[in-house]
Structure formats: C-alpha cells, structure tokens
C-alpha cells in the first residue's frame, strides 16, 4: 500500500485535499471537508497523489 492512514492526499484531477482514513477492497478511503460538511469516498491508489507532491510541482 502506497498510502497510510492519516496521510494527506489529493485526487489527481480534482485537487481536493483529503485525509486517508482506511483501506478496503483495494481502495483507499478518504475524508475531507467541502465547506458544508465532511465527505467521504474511496479511490484507487493510482487516482491519488500525496498532497505535498502537488505543492512541490507548483513551486518548481
């Protein structure tokens, strides 16, 4: 597994910053706040990147 519980990640196309809350059936479970409430969804590992990586790409 590439991501551990409590890692901060982002979806590669949406860019929403999320926290990994678990793993199930080969998926990474994430939670985030969308301005109205806490949302949760599961994603494939290859759909995510570490949040720090995306900010490093912007800075360079």
Four-point Cα dihedral 11, 53, 50, 26, nearest 10: 70
The pLDDT tens digits for 7-45 are 999 999 877 899 999 998 889 999 999 899 999 999 999
Q: Is residue 56 situated within a structural domain?
A: no
The predicted model scores a pTM of: 0.80
* pLDDT on residue 26: 85
- Nearest Cα to 12, choosing from 42, 52, 41, 54? 54
What's the confidence (pLDDT) of residue 39? 95
Report DSSP state, residue 2.
-
User: Does 1 map to a domain?
Assistant: no
How much is the pLDDT for 14?
A: 76
CA distance 27 to 58: 27
18 occurs within a structural domain = yes
Instruction: Give the integer Cα–Cα distance in Å for 39 and 30.
Output: 8
Does residue 2 belong to any structural domain of this protein? no
What pLDDT sits at residue 15? 75
Domain annotation covers residue 32: yes
| Residue ranges making up the domain that contains 40 | 8-51
pLDDT score of 58 = 53
- Domain assignment present for residue 23? The answer is yes
Task: Work out how many domains the chain is built from and give that number.
Answer: 1
Residue 59 lies in a domain: no
């Amino acid at each position: 597994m590439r991501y551990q519980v409590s890692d901060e990640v982002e979806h590669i196309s949406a860019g929403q910053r999320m926290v990994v809350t678990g793993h199930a059936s080969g998926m990474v479970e994430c939670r985030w706040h969308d301005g109205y409430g806490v949302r949760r969804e599961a994603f494939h590992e290859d759909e995510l990147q570490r949040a720090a990586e995306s900010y490093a790409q912007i800075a360079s």
